[in-house]
Amino acid sequence: MVTVEGKTHYEVTTWRLLETGWQDGATNMAIDEAIMEAVAAGEQPPTLRFYGWQPACLSLGYSQPWQVVDWEACAERGWNVVRRPTGGRAILHVDELTYSVVGPEHEPRLQGGILPSYLRLSDALAAGLAKLGVSPERAGAPGKGGALGPVCFDQPSNYEITSGGRKLVGSAQARRRGMVLQHGTLPLYGDLRRIVHVLQFEGEEARQAAATALTASALTLEESLGRRISYEEAMAALVAGFTTALNLRLEPGRLSAAEQERAERIRAEKFANEVWTRRN
């Protein structure tokens, strides 16, 4: 990796490319963790994965209090609740494309800590979105006007992708035992305000204020472009963005039998277990 005239250039390297379709929330998080274990063990190369969520799922950040969830409202809608292994605040996963990146900390595209790697990976996301016609921007430091609410998309974090000043991609990262997991959400279409109906607020006025703030601070890909983009088209664009911006050779693959088995165990023991989801 070298920097020339402010631009980073990487030696070409091969990562695995996975598309695992639509899964429930606990399965999706378990697959990310199983991939991380396989890459850490040297059984698999660094991996870029794309996936969706079925049914819709409310995910909590690693340290977010579980009491922010309106569990009855989620159950009435048939929506799952899961706790992510990464930080941040609540996200409603529906009508979206999700990506995850797993690799070792010494990988040039991931080294140097959370913020430098966020910036490098945001280059790939921005390049992919530009191929769809978005004019992507990067957020600076969040404002300091008061306490953060429970909703992830009510404010962009450092280097997250925005369009017209509104958050378009939300990402979160975890580092453990020399490994990096970053995953993120690209809302394709739909009403982002749906999330406020499954979270706890002090009253209806506070709920409506959160919905209004969300409308002002975030948008979907459809809103950004003025046309609806399919999951497949969005994924193809992001694959191209990662390939060109990070000088990657992406080789399509599939989960190994060992990864599938491990994901099933992780799902049962952790992400589908209420002891994990409702931990303090």
Could you give the residue numbers annotated as active site?
152
- Residue 164 phi/psi, 5-degree rounding, is 60, 30
Q: Which residues, other chains included, contact 4 with Cβ-Cβ below 8 Å and sequence gap of 6+?
A: none
Compute how many other C-beta atoms are within 10 angstroms of the C-beta atom of residue 165.
Answer: 11
**Residue 193 half-sphere exposure, CB side, CA atoms within 13 Å?**
10
| H or E, element range at 209 | helix 204-217
The type of residue at 224 is S
What distance in Å separates the CA atoms of residue 160 and residue 147, rounded to the nearest whole number? Answer: 19
Please report, for residues 141, 142, 151, the alpha-carbon distance to residue 215 in angstroms, rounded to integers and kept in the order given: 20, 17, 12
Query: Nearest Cα to 100, choosing from 246, 272, 235, 245?
Result: 235
In DSSP terms, 172 is beta-bridged to: 183
SS3 label, residue 9:
strand
Strands (E), the chain: 2-4, 7-9, 13-23, 47-53, 57-60, 80-83, 91-93, 96-104, 137-138, 161-163, 166-167, 170-176, 179-187, 248-252
